Chain A
Amino acid sequence: MNELITYSSGFTEEIGWEWPISVYLLLAGISGGAIIVALLIRFYKNQIENTAVYKSASLVAFVTILLGMVCLVGDLTRPLNFWQILINYNFNSVMSIGVAALMIYIPLSFVAVVFAFADFVKERFSFLTKIVDLLLKFRVVLEGVLFLFAVVICAYTGFLISVLVRFPLLNTSILPALFVISGLSAGTAALCIMAKRVFNENVHSSDMKILHKIEWPIMAIEILFLAMLYISLATGNEAGKIALAAFHEGSWSTVFWVGIVCIGFLLPIILNFSQKEQENSNSIFYISAMCSIVGVLCLRLFIIYAGQTFSV
């Protein structure tokens, strides 16, 4: 930026937001993504019973969002003051909007766990039967609201950092969309692992087939969004060109090409096409799912670190 007068150094010699934020962004993406996919399948197939996919999704969503909260609070410089954010709201702030959404989303994701294991809860904690039955009455409504807020959670994490004007890589309108789609990708992968590992779901069951099928369009859209981000920066103004260097220079460009492109996109594709029908594909199934999650983690790390490194 060529201005008549300016200064070159700032107060944050290092990075303002570090890896705990990246991990939180991943966990929130997984949580929202898993719920979105599972509820879409449930609504689409008009399922009434609790499938393995639904059970996995509720557990994955609830546990990951709680772990995300640990990361989030742990990253504060005054974690013991955390309650202040729960009583003070500034609705100009995306973070405040996010906290308000989380206050609705987290209890609802717990309610989804209760739905998924309703019989178990009623059996073991019989005194809760009335409450569970009451909740079950409003199941469709609650799941609808949960679905809506799962989308909000995925999207807000993108908006949270896209408002940061100093960082041209982050300050783009594509970022929230990229975060929603990559959240879906990681959520689906986590869902697959959980359903197979914990609930012994057959890889060739109809639900798992749907999951497997939607993985590819999700990945295609993810690649498309990344390409759009790249091209918009390359064809943009001077600030865009500063940010474009993030893809080619420094250690975070390695994370992009190795972590996101090779592990996140290429490896699952190669693994899937190299796989033979009769072969025991257990390990390949797990590896390719893990690759998706690692790829999305790398994407979050790249966005947070490279985004803040190449500032204007």
Chain B
Amino acid sequence: MSSSKENNRRNFIKGIGLGSLFLGSVQYGLNANTNKENKKPHYAMIYDQNKCVGCSDCEIACQEINLVPKNQHRLYVEDQTKPDDLQHKKYMRVSCQQCIDSPCTEVCPTGACHKDSITDIVTMDIDKCIGCKYCIVACPYDVRFINERTNAAENCNFCLNTNFAKGKDPACVESCKYDALVFGDLNDETAYINKILDVKDAVRLKPGFGTKPSLRYIPKLKTGVYDE
């Protein structure tokens, strides 16, 4: 009687030991998995307003590489120089903000506007697009358009099908002579983009919409105190 009781206790303790070992390893495995998922890239871009001189090399390079029709743009540089202060030039990049919570992919009825499964970059499946323009009116940044050649909606997708596919930086980044643009993976701790974000104040546009854009802007702080 008593020996069988002891046996029971021994078995119970053994069971607990083996069980916790098993569960522990399962837990570890799951953790390892989630860690891997966290490693999914988050591509982002920095536009430094202090460095941009408005040469529009980026616009031209983008049009050429992505076959954007002549009078249309995936990105353009807005001249924000005040007419009464031409000494202090100021430029601004206008393009898809690559939102994490992107309204365009939310509203697209066919899923043509989607996030790429590997890179999470907001891009278009042109074959699926019916041209309903819902993504265009839903975008809080007004940076989507209908391509006149394909009649499908389009946006800056970090050259996903062109330069990115070849392992190169986006065309605008590649063509910028003044290093005003930096492209990289925010989840890669060693990436140059993270080093810049560590030391510079970079802001998101219209944060009130809560779309969490991946484009960061370094605002112009030059006040002209050293002139003359």
Interface residues of A (CB under 8 A from B): 1, 3-12, 16-17, 75-79, 81-82, 84-85, 88-90, 92-96, 99, 161, 163-167, 308, 311
Is B140 positioned at the interface, with any CB of A under 8 Å from its CB?
Answer: yes
What residues on B are CB-neighbors of A76 within 8 Å? 130-132
What residues on B are CB-neighbors of A166 within 8 Å? 137-140, 142
Cα A91 to Cα B134 in complex, Å, equals 14
Cα A300 to Cα B130 in complex, Å, equals 23
Is B206 positioned at the interface, with any CB of A under 8 Å from its CB?
Answer: yes
Query: In whole Å, how far is B28's beta carbon from the nearest beta carbon of chain A?
Result: 35
State whether B219 touches A90 (Cβ < 8 A): no
State whether A11 touches B131 (Cβ < 8 A): no
Cα A12 to Cα B151 in complex, Å, equals 15
Chain B residue with minimal CB distance to A5? Answer: B219
Cα A311 to Cα B137 in complex, Å, equals 10
Contacting residue for B136 out of A3, A7, A12, CB 8 A: A12
What residues on A are CB-neighbors of B139 within 8 Å? 166
Interface residues of B (CB under 8 A from A): 49, 73, 78, 80, 92-94, 103, 106-112, 127-134, 136-146, 151-152, 203, 205-209, 217, 219-220
What residues on A are CB-neighbors of B110 within 8 Å? 84-85, 88, 90, 96
What residues on A are CB-neighbors of B80 within 8 Å? 7-8
Cα A10 to Cα B80 in complex, Å, equals 14
What residues on A are CB-neighbors of B134 within 8 Å? 93, 95
Query: In whole Å, how far is B93's beta carbon from the nearest beta carbon of chain A?
Result: 8
Cα A276 to Cα B129 in complex, Å, equals 57
Query: In whole Å, how far is A98's beta carbon from the nearest beta carbon of chain B?
Result: 8
Known pairs A76-B130, A85-B130, A90-B110; A1 contacts B141 (CB<8 A): no
What residues on A are CB-neighbors of B93 within 8 Å? 7
State whether A78 touches B128 (Cβ < 8 A): no
Contacting residue for B217 out of A5, A85, A99, A164, CB 8 A: A5
Query: In whole Å, how far is B53's beta carbon from the nearest beta carbon of chain A?
Result: 17
What residues on B are CB-neighbors of A85 within 8 Å? 109-110, 130, 132
What residues on B are CB-neighbors of A78 within 8 Å? 129-131, 151-152
What residues on B are CB-neighbors of A81 within 8 Å? 127-131
State whether A96 touches B109 (Cβ < 8 A): yes
What residues on A are CB-neighbors of B141 within 8 Å? 10
State whether A5 touches B208 (Cβ < 8 A): no
Cα A96 to Cα B127 in complex, Å, equals 17
State whether A84 touches B138 (Cβ < 8 A): no
Query: In whole Å, how far is A172's beta carbon from the nearest beta carbon of chain B?
Result: 15
Contacting residue for A77 out of B92, B140, B152, B206, CB 8 A: B152
Extra contacts besides A5-B219, A93-B109, A308-B137 (14): CB < 8 Å: A3-B206, A5-B217, A5-B220, A7-B93, A11-B73, A16-B133, A75-B133, A78-B130, A84-B127, A90-B110, A93-B107, A93-B108, A163-B107, A166-B140
Cα A68 to Cα B99 in complex, Å, equals 33
Contacting residue for A5 out of B92, B103, B106, B108, CB 8 A: B92
16 A-B pairs with C-beta separation under 8 A? A3-B207, A6-B206, A7-B80, A11-B73, A17-B133, A17-B137, A81-B129, A84-B129, A88-B110, A88-B128, A92-B106, A94-B107, A165-B103, A165-B138, A166-B138, A308-B137
What residues on B are CB-neighbors of A11 within 8 Å? 73, 94, 136, 142-145
- Counting from the closest, the 6 A-B pairs by CB-CB distance are A10-B142, A77-B131, A95-B109, A88-B110, A16-B137, A78-B131
Cα A7 to Cα B206 in complex, Å, equals 10
Contacting residue for A4 out of B127, B131, B151, B203, CB 8 A: B203
What residues on B are CB-neighbors of A311 within 8 Å? 142
What residues on A are CB-neighbors of B136 within 8 Å? 11-12, 16
Known pairs A10-B142, A164-B137; A84 contacts B94 (CB<8 A): no
What residues on A are CB-neighbors of B143 within 8 Å? 10-11
Cα A89 to Cα B129 in complex, Å, equals 13
Cα A75 to Cα B133 in complex, Å, equals 9
